[in-house]
Amino acid sequence: MKKIILFITVLVFSFSCVKRQKGSPTPEIEYIEFNAYKTDDGNDASYHLFKFLDGDGDLFRNQVGDGPNFVSNFFYLDSVTKQFIPFVTIKKLVEPGKTDTVIFRDTFGISQTVVNPKDISFKDQSINGTILVPSKEYRPSNRIKTFFYTYYIIDRAGNKSNKVTTPTITVP
């Protein structure tokens, strides 16, 4: 009986000392939900909820100043064509000291920084969980009622996750 207990104990310790393999360094995300609501002062607000998996633990930024890593693009239902199209704004840029105006098109999107929890390091660890990303403005105009988003996240090494798309969202 002592030999069996000793054998099981050695077996358990042998497998507990095996180093876990790191997963893929490219993060993966999965859409869970989008929730839109009005704030107390009547403004639009929302949150986006995702599952994530990152094989090397560098998904989050160290601080807000490190730049955005959560990127979304906005598509709305055009009332004339009945097709979903990206919301595009035209911007004019005049460089200081020059008279030429540069005009460029910019797609409405939300870029935010998802920061590593304070005093916790995930370096070289496979991590997974959920991310809740709040947003003060989720659409460029209150006239837009039907839309969807595409999302992806970029880790500190520059690896871009898969792109996910929400179902069609309709708000009052």
Domain residues for 75?
23-170
Q: Is 160 within the bounds of a domain? A: yes
Tell me what pLDDT residue 81 has.
Answer: 93
143 occurs within a structural domain: yes
pTM as predicted: 0.71
116 assigned to some structural domain = yes
Rounded-to-integer distance, Cα 155 and Cα 160, Å: 7
Residues paired with 170 in a beta bridge? 146
Distance CA 74, CA 129 (A): 25
- The tally of domains found in the chain comes to 1
pLDDT in tens, 68-105: 888 888 999 998 999 998 887 666 666 666 666 555 56
User: CB 124: neighbour CB atoms within 10 A?
Assistant: 10
Q: Does 15 map to a domain?
A: no
Task: Tell me, yes or no, whether 10 lies in a domain.
Answer: no
Per mean pLDDT, which of 11-15, 151-155, 164-168 is the most reliable? 164-168
